Chains A and B, each alone.
Chain A
Amino acid sequence: MITEDRETFSDTVEEEHSVEACTKCTACNTVCPVARSTEIFRGPKSLGPESERYRDPHEATVTAGLDLCSGCKLCEVTCPSQVSIQEYIRRAQNKGAREKGRTLRDWLLGHTRLLSRFGSLTAPLANFGNRNPLFRLLMERVVGIHRKRPLPKYQWLTFESWFKRHARPSVSPPPLGEGRVGAARRTVAYFYGCWVDFNERRLGQQVVAVLERNGIEVIVPRQQCCGIPAVVNSNTYLARKYGVENVRRLSALPTGVDIIASSTSCGLMLKHDYAHLLEIPGAEQVGSRVYDICEYLWMLHEAGELDVDFQPVDTRVLYHAPCHLKSHGIGYPAMRLLRLIPGVRVEEVDEGCCGISGTYGVKVEKYDLSMKIGSRLFEAVKAAGSDSVLADCETCRMQVEHGAGSRSAHPIDILARAYGYR
């Protein structure tokens, strides 16, 4: 008998995003790129909320199968009950790693910044080694990094040192005209991340150029690795250390300064994971100021502040939306921006995860699975036969180049070209 008196149950409130909210609808399993590619992976529903019921903080964690989760977070994006599925898996992975110890390989991959700094300092040698089959075979045997996985090319000149010498445009407030009413001069802090710093300085230069073209002052605060390589390699201690440092530095920025990231995964750490997974004090405030570069430019456009005086760029490109971009919950601002440029024909390849997931596809035992996950995307890219594939995430670009043999770039690359930068 259902009566109105049942309203007295309103004081019974379950926690939000909790494991309790799972209704076993299995939507997460259907989008999980790993579950779709291998039968031995039970899927996010089982390893997340269902196993969570059985996990006891005082007992050893059951880790079997946990390492197969690539951390793409598509499960969380899909969950109609908003269960923090991946976060539960991540916490269990980390607890398991604390109990059982982690391999040298995972320790190294967690210290991406250290590795990259070293790679950058010894750039010619490192790049030679990374392409030498003998050295790669040795690397596979000793460290566990798959010999077929192309490793990023290091650059001797870092973005940080380039920016120090970069000639800033003269500080003059933009004219107050129509469409710019009330727009004070904007300043953004650029969180460039390790990739731009050591591997793709050009992307950082393009970001700075695009922003400065729009009359925005770019400052580059001192920064540490965002911590995502450490998180995915079960080293929350290190990730938290990095995070605390970044939060401290970014909190010190003057109010009104927005923070821009050109890597979707770095951006996601700053926006979300610092506050939720790593529970860093003050991270919520910092996170609320963080924008993805394309998200920010699109917001400028909506405010009528984006310079849309583009040169035509005659190109046909594919756009691959990285999984972590989907976690931002901002749609695909890059596609919207590119459609403003005359001559650009952009199509989305809607074939899901590319499979690399940062350091996941680098590991010797995951390489094949990673290529299998990405195979649908590779096929689609090959079939489309376009100039290049655009993706906001650096490891997605590495994977598409490797798997589909096509060229790739960050969407900002086209935008910079439309502004006349090369």
Chain B
Amino acid sequence: MPDTSTGVVVIGGGSTGAGVLRDLTLRGIDAILVEKGDLASGTTGRSHGLLHSGGRYCVNDLAAAIECVEEGRILRRIARTTVEDTGGYFVSVSEEDEAWEPRFVEGCQKAGITCERIPVEEARRREPALSTHVRTVFWVPEDGHLDPFYLVVGNVESARRRGAQIRTYTEVIGFTRNGNRISGVLTRDAVTGEETSIGCQAVINATGAWSGFVARLLDVEVKVVPVKGVMVVLSRRLAHAAINRCHKPGDGDIVVPGLSVAILGTTAVKVPHPEVLPIEWNEVQLLIDEGAKMLDGVTTARAMRAYAGVRPLYDLGAEAEGREMSRNFAVIDHEERDGIAGFTSIVGGKVTTYRLMAERVTDLVARRLGVTTACTTAEVPLNDRDDEMDQLRHRPAQLGMPKPHGEELALQPLLCECELVRPQDVETWMKDPAVRTLEDIRRRTRSGMGPCQAAICSYRLAGRMVTDRGVDGRTATRAMADFLETRWRGVRHVFWGSQLRQAQVTAALHLELFNVDRQLQEYFPPPLGEGQGGGVPAEAVEAVGQP
């Protein structure tokens, strides 16, 4: 007997999994989402946040471009609080770019993308930061910014209110089968190691770049090519609209202003494993150099951190590599392909088309389960209830939501001063069992995503863990140190100027003033005799004799 039973188990807490979970619950199907880390901690949360108009794909990947056009319009309707309607520019800065223009214009026409050539002077009036290198400008009003964290959390919360469950930090370690039919999954808690079984009628594998690993548990193959992309976060938006280079998609050709930052993207390098994502200094340098060709201020702005994400490109068997591969997606019906009933994978695609991907795979699974309710995710808005998404504060003015720095907020105390996070924004999440670490709080509130990279808010959040969550001081200190550690992983790639000085202030504060490393050694002493700072190994003592 399984510990719990449900209709469908969705594996993967990225945008696709969250979209599938919501789609299932809107059709009245009972579902549990299982994620081995936190929501949006894989590909989705490491995207650059560009809501594609399709312009980027319209020449090489027309099918993907057409999907982007449609989905972009739907998301603007249903996810108003997660989409920032910035618009975008495609700019040419060289002769090669200008040669690409006719193909770009033709592609836009074919895909149905609104695109208008505007005089450079007019563009510079609207975007004063446009570089002097810019020769031609196309205005593409349907580019935008999509907040990946709120998108996932919004979908999941919407589903949870309709009865769905989520289990974060829960890894699938096996399946139970009844003949050829899947009858449940076995999971293990990543922290406690506790194993649980969930009985179900169907499993949807929405793990993106990790799809192959999940499928292998059933001895079937799903070929996903993980392609790394590096991004650099600047501390200010620099531009109002997304800036794309008008050329064959390549490295470092987009600057996406979103919320309080601008993100320079991106590179494309095939990697052996979706979790091996080294960031090389030359990639960071390239992103800054290329970004500076389009926008002034890229070199003078403060780079806050660099991060790497992984694209889950589905190998359709073509000889293509990296960017040549399609950004299209595929639903793999393992019942038909491999004879495993009740197991379906959804692979490829991108954040912009997450809803369509969810719709396609849910259509198939619902049909198999005999549910005939049609998909309504294109109509029912994500914020279909008043109390929904109270946490979504960082709304631009045109959405009619309070601005983060609105008058009413300006006199309230803050936990994270860089990103204007108030105690009440954190409180609900502190009580949510799906939230385990301060990184999880960050993904839901943006705490620690500003210039100081959690130097200040980390200790305030640790204090909140004690008051709101009731953990002891040791656990809170550990959580604070872990949070700073994950922030550090991104900061260390941009060590120059202000961020270098910032790191020194952070180190002085936490290591010298708070003495965190010593405290942790005291709280969690490493086992003696293993040469990890926990005492002198016995053989070393023997070698030199007693003091």
- CB-CB < 8 A to B452: which residues of A? 23-24
Number of residues from B at the complex interface, CB < 8 A: 38
Are A13 and B299 closer than 8 Å at their CB atoms? Answer: yes
Are B497 and A23 closer than 8 Å at their CB atoms? Answer: no
User: Considering the complex, which residues of chain B in the window 290-321 have a beta carbon less than 8 Å from any beta carbon of chain A?
Assistant: 299-303
| A302 close to B (CB within 8 Å) | no
| A3 close to B (CB within 8 Å) | yes
Cα–Cα, bound, A311→B235 (Å):
61
- CB-CB < 8 A to B301: which residues of A? 14, 20
Q: Give the interface size bracket for A toward B.
A: 35 or more
Q: Which of B236, B288, B411, B455 contacts A42 (CB 8 A)?
A: B411
List the A residue with the shortest CB-CB distance to B261. A53
| B410 close to A (CB within 8 Å) | yes
Are B417 and A9 closer than 8 Å at their CB atoms? Answer: no
| A388 close to B (CB within 8 Å) | no
User: Considering the complex, which residues of chain A in the window 1-59 have a beta carbon less than 8 Å from any beta carbon of chain B?
Assistant: 1-3, 5-6, 8-15, 20-26, 40, 42, 45-46, 50-51, 53-55, 59
- CB-CB < 8 A to B501: which residues of A? 21, 23, 81
Q: Which of B235, B413, B496 contacts A20 (CB 8 A)?
A: B235
- CB-CB < 8 A to A405: which residues of B? none
Q: Which of B111-119, B322-330, B401-409, B460-468 contacts A (4 or more CB under 8 A)?
A: B401-409
- CB-CB < 8 A to A9: which residues of B? 285, 496
Are B411 and A40 closer than 8 Å at their CB atoms? Answer: yes
- CB-CB < 8 A to A3: which residues of B? 281
Cα–Cα, bound, A284→B213 (Å):
67
Are A11 and B411 closer than 8 Å at their CB atoms? Answer: no
List the B residue with the shortest CB-CB distance to A27. B505
| A312 close to B (CB within 8 Å) | no
- CB-CB < 8 A to A11: which residues of B? 299
Are A24 and B455 closer than 8 Å at their CB atoms? Answer: yes
| A406 close to B (CB within 8 Å) | no
Q: Which of B235, B282, B497 contacts A12 (CB 8 A)?
A: B497
| B538 close to A (CB within 8 Å) | no
| B6 close to A (CB within 8 Å) | no
Q: Which of B299, B411, B420, B502 contacts A24 (CB 8 A)?
A: B502
| B204 close to A (CB within 8 Å) | no
| B524 close to A (CB within 8 Å) | no
Are B281 and A5 closer than 8 Å at their CB atoms? Answer: yes
| A63 close to B (CB within 8 Å) | yes
Q: In whole Å, how far is B497's beta carbon from the nearest beta carbon of chain A?
A: 5
Q: In whole Å, how far is A360's beta carbon from the nearest beta carbon of chain B?
A: 18
Assuming the A-B contacts A6-B281, A53-B260, A65-B410, are A14 and B455 also in contact, with contact meaning beta carbons closer than 8 angstroms in the complex?
A: no
List the B residue with the shortest CB-CB distance to A9. B496
Are B410 and A42 closer than 8 Å at their CB atoms? Answer: yes
Are B418 and A51 closer than 8 Å at their CB atoms? Answer: no
Are B417 and A45 closer than 8 Å at their CB atoms? Answer: yes
Q: Which of A8, A20, A64 contacts B285 (CB 8 A)?
A: A8
Cα–Cα, bound, A35→B462 (Å):
24
- Bits for B380-422, please: 1 = Cβ < 8 Å to A, else 0: 0000000000000000010000011111101101100110100
The 7 closest A-B pairs by CB, nearest first: A64-B410, A20-B302, A24-B452, A23-B505, A54-B405, A9-B496, A64-B407
21 intermolecular pairs with C-beta atoms under 8 Å apart: A2-B495, A9-B496, A14-B497, A21-B302, A22-B451, A22-B498, A23-B498, A23-B501, A24-B417, A24-B451, A24-B505, A42-B410, A42-B411, A42-B414, A51-B405, A53-B260, A54-B420, A62-B405, A64-B411, A65-B411, A81-B501
7 new A-B contacts, CB < 8 A, other than A1-B281, A50-B418, A64-B407, are A5-B282, A6-B495, A9-B496, A14-B497, A14-B498, A24-B418, A24-B502
Residues of A within 8 A of B (CB): 1-3, 5-6, 8-15, 20-26, 40, 42, 45-46, 50-51, 53-55, 59, 62-65, 81
